[in-house]
Amino acid sequence: MQHIHINVKEYKMKMTNKSGFTLLEIIIVVIIIGVLASLALPRFLNTVEASRAGEALQNISAIRGALARCQLINGSYVPCADSWNNLDISNPTNAPGTHFTYSITAGATSYTVVATRNSTNGGTSGNLITLIETSTTISKSGTGAFVSIR
């Protein structure tokens, strides 16, 4: 028969020397992470919307080229804006996963292309990117998340 020798002093020391985090320490860490997330999230969302604006600007550029080609054929922008069938591109609104709807209004020597943000992927519906081209000027503007577009 073997005897087991237990050092009582050593055993008590091991039982009282507990390691780990207290509830207060964990709560403080959670609060710090929450504050950091609240500061970073709006900046992240603005960056995402700025990248979405790139989609609209690319499509507006394609529409602009199609309008120019149509105007050369017809002598006016009016028939070009009547129907997407009069342009040599399809309506980018119908592309899968698009984040904007596009509309065109035109006169004889000028046109306006408007990209309106839809609510796909958390976007704010109704924010606009507008391109206006006349015989003498071209201007871009935006509203909401796209206000800085020039």
Residue type, 83: S
Strand partners for 102: 115
Strand, coil or helix: 102? strand
The DSSP code for 63 is H
Cβ contacts of residue 111 below 8 Å, gap of 6+?
67, 77, 80, 81, 104, 105, 132, 133
Strand, coil or helix: 24? helix
**pLDDT tens, per residue, the chain with 150 residues:** 666 666 666 666 665 656 788 899 999 999 999 999 889 888 888 788 888 889 999 999 999 999 999 999 999 999 988 888 889 999 999 989 889 999 999 998 999 999 999 876 666 677 888 999 998 899 998 888 788 777
CA 98, 101, 107: angle at the middle one, nearest 5?
140
Q: What is the pLDDT of residues 87-114, one digit of tens each?
A: 999 999 998 988 999 999 999 899 999 9
Residue 148: its pLDDT value, please? Answer: 79
Report how far residue 98's alpha carbon sits from residue 101's, in angstroms, rounded to the nearest whole number. 8
Enter the pTM of the model: 0.70
